[in-house]
Amino acid sequence: MARILKDYPEISLKPEDFVGNVDFCRIFGRHGPVHIEIGSGKGTFLLHQAKAQPSDNFLGIEWANRYYRYAVDRIGRWGLTNVRILRTDAAAFIAESITDSSIDCFHIYFPDPWPKKRHHKRRFLGPANLAHLIRCLKTGGQIRVATDHADYFEQIQKVFAAKSDRLEEMEFIRPAGAETGEWAGTNFERKYIKEQRPIYTLAVKKK
């Protein structure tokens, strides 16, 4: 029998809930470090990391409706109060609604590689989006990336290197849910590991 997915209004956010810039204190009902996961899938990272860091606030952004609904249901069932999930276009939302120097960490695990060359412009980690991520980060704030796609990883390295005046490379810190042999501990990574794909990681912090 298929699992019945329940909506939890205290977890799920709607784009129409926002007028102007995001007020994270209002969203979470408290002050605290803010993490944003871009492409949260079924919420595996959010679940484990929010449990491990209860004093931090986590916003997951997911476009695919089936994953968004699953993640909301999953987080709601666990009763986690420091997670919110939003279904929207991440690039537009970050560019238009996130204020300068307000985010402590962006987590981007296994973004869509858009492997065909004519689609490369759709890749999230390009110069324009990176500029907004840097703008939104606090000084010392981090971006953590993992991918299984060698060509995309090479592009990511080049895009980040072009901002070496603003970013400093650092050790990639494995999330709380990553098990032995894993880097990020997401559902996608576990699938890729079974397929024996190599995993590439990169982490930087804002100077």
The pTM (predicted TM-score) of the whole model is 0.95
Domain 30-206 has CATH 3.30.300.180: no
CA-to-CA separations, 155 to 42, 120, 149, in angstroms, rounded:
26, 10, 10
For the question of residue 56 being annotated catalytic, the response is no
Q: Which of 23, 112, 151, 165 is catalytic?
A: 112
Tell me which amino acid residue 189 is: E
What the block records as the tokens of 76 is 């709601």
Contacts of the segment 191-196: beta carbons below 8 A, 24+ positions apart:
192/110, 192/148
Give the pLDDT score at 107.
Answer: 98
Give the pLDDT score at 175.
Answer: 96
Tallying the residues shown for the chain, one arrives at: 207
Q: List, in sequence order, every residue forming a beta bridge with 45; answer none if it has no partner.
A: none
Q: What percent of the chain has pLDDT over 70?
A: 99
CB burial of residue 88 (10 Å; 0-12, 13-18, 19+): middle
Separation between Cα atoms, residue 182 and residue 190, nearest integer Å: 8
Give the pLDDT score at 16.
Answer: 80
Q: Which stretches in the chain have pLDDT values below 50?
A: none
Give the pLDDT score at 42.
Answer: 94
- State the average pLDDT for the chain: 95
Separation between Cα atoms, residue 126 and residue 52, nearest integer Å: 31
